[in-house]
Amino acid sequence: MLIDRRTMLAGSAALAAAPAMGKPQPSRAGWYDQAIVIDALGGVGDPYGPEEQLRLSDRAWSEMVATGVTLLRDTVFPVGNGADNWADYQKDVAAKKNILNANPDRLVMVRTAADILKAKREKKFAWLLGTQDTSMVGPELDRLAQLKKDGVMTVQLTYNNRNLSGDGALEPANAGLSKLGRATIERIEAEKLLLDLSHGGARTMAEATAQAKRPLVISHTGAKALTDHPRNTDDATIKAVADKGGVVGVYFMPFLTLDSHPKGADLLAHVEHVANVAGEDHVGIGTDNGVLPTTLDEETKRKLKEWQEQRIKAGIAAPGEAVGVYPLVEDYNSVDRYRRFADDLARRGWSQARLEKLMGGNFLRVYREAWGG
């Protein structure tokens, strides 16, 4: 079943009907506006323009700029095992290119790290495309070369359920990588794409990390040592990714607590745990939201309900996903959440240099190692 980006955005922060939690407050940290700020997994969308409009509205654009985010990695769908995932992929990547073509003065598609720096200089928004599954590739590994031609620069191996490459996070067998999965990793690295292990089964992630020859990422996850949830990652794998030169991104998602209602303090605890296990050079953020916040008005709740029911029916919903459970951390549901998040860590003793790494420097380094520039 195809879960497309527009459907996904019904459950993401890009569905805001108005800025949440009031007027953004200025950050006390002057460094933030000069920093490269990277959200390693989210979505670009416009909650204010008509659904069929590809050009970002002025309001959406001004609020995107206000977040201070330099780059967001977006998903080219599908995820899960569908009837013709390659055709679904082709449709979605074409739709992404149409959005890019409608916003040439605002969006920069990222193929190298230099594109990220260029976007920052030109006050544009760097847009990185990646998959959250290899279901559209399957055994046709030459398709990975086509993904790269299309501008898809990161490839996630599995999404919750089993595919031909291996077991996702929800598979009870936890059978790990397949022979094809190992060959897929080899081809991802040969194409100089970036391997992402988010949503993987515990054994899949451990075996894939051991298999990898180049730096890799888990773009959006939490610490299993703090919350034993299948979408979170154990310390051994976090450390192994760091030892390969990679980065682990922490999400702003319900899976940070078992009651599915995390507070800001829970998010900060997960970030500090990953930093302590991996080291300050190997931690980042991948909110798994949109850039903009969510206002939970009745229309948004209706769309979220449809999105959540669709995920449950498709069998790709993780434990804790349910109608009425929203994919966000409420304490950071605001336009200025990235700034406030950094300020809160500064109050806990994080230095500017450490924050610059967390907020984007570490992912920028891995992107440069993966693609050059």
pLDDT digits (tens, 9 = 90+) for 45-88: 898 889 899 999 999 999 999 999 999 999 999 999 999 999 99
Q: Is pLDDT at 27 greater than 60 in this prediction?
A: no
Inter-axis angle of helices 202-211 and 179-190, to 10 degrees? 50
Residue 337 pLDDT level (bands cut at 50, 70, 90): very high
Question: Which residue segment(s) compose the domain that 270 sits in?
Answer: 5-18+32-48+60-371
- Low-confidence winner among 20-29, 73-82, 87-96, 363-372 (lowest mean pLDDT): 20-29
pTM score above 0.75: yes
Residue 118 pLDDT level (bands cut at 50, 70, 90): very high
pLDDT at residue number 93: 98
Q: Is pLDDT at 25 greater than 80 in this prediction?
A: no
Of all residues in the chain, the percent with pLDDT exceeding 90 is 88
Task: Please state, in angstroms and rounded to a whole number, the distance separating the CA atoms of residues 133 and 123.
Answer: 31
Helix (H) or strand (E) holding 133: none
Residue 357 included in any domain: yes
Sign of torsion, CA 243 244 245 247?
negative
Residue 21 pLDDT level (bands cut at 50, 70, 90): very low
Token pair belonging to 109? 């598609």
Residue 125 included in any domain: yes
Average pLDDT in the 266-276 region? 98
Residue 25 included in any domain: no
Residue 26 included in any domain: no
Residue 359 included in any domain: yes
Average pLDDT, the chain: 92
Task: Please state, in angstroms and rounded to a whole number, the distance separating the CA atoms of residues 156 and 135.
Answer: 10
Burial class (CB in 10 A: 0-12, 13-18, 19+), 55: middle
Q: Based on the structure, what is the number of domains in the chain?
A: 1
Q: Is pLDDT at 292 greater than 80 in this prediction?
A: yes
Q: Which amino acid is at 345?
A: L
User: Phi/psi at 77 (nearest 5 deg)?
Assistant: -85, 165
Residue 265 included in any domain: yes
Residue 23 included in any domain: no
Average pLDDT in the 283-292 region? 95
C-alpha distances (whole Å) from 179 to each of 71, 79, 202, 207 are 34, 21, 17, 11
Token pair belonging to 16? 């805001």
CATH number at residue 361: 3.20.20.140
Q: Is pLDDT at 206 greater than 90 in this prediction?
A: yes
Residue 64 included in any domain: yes
Of all residues in the chain, the percent with pLDDT exceeding 70 is 92
Inter-axis angle of helices 264-278 and 235-243, to 10 degrees? 50
Residues 6+ apart with CB under 8 A from 343: 27, 28, 29
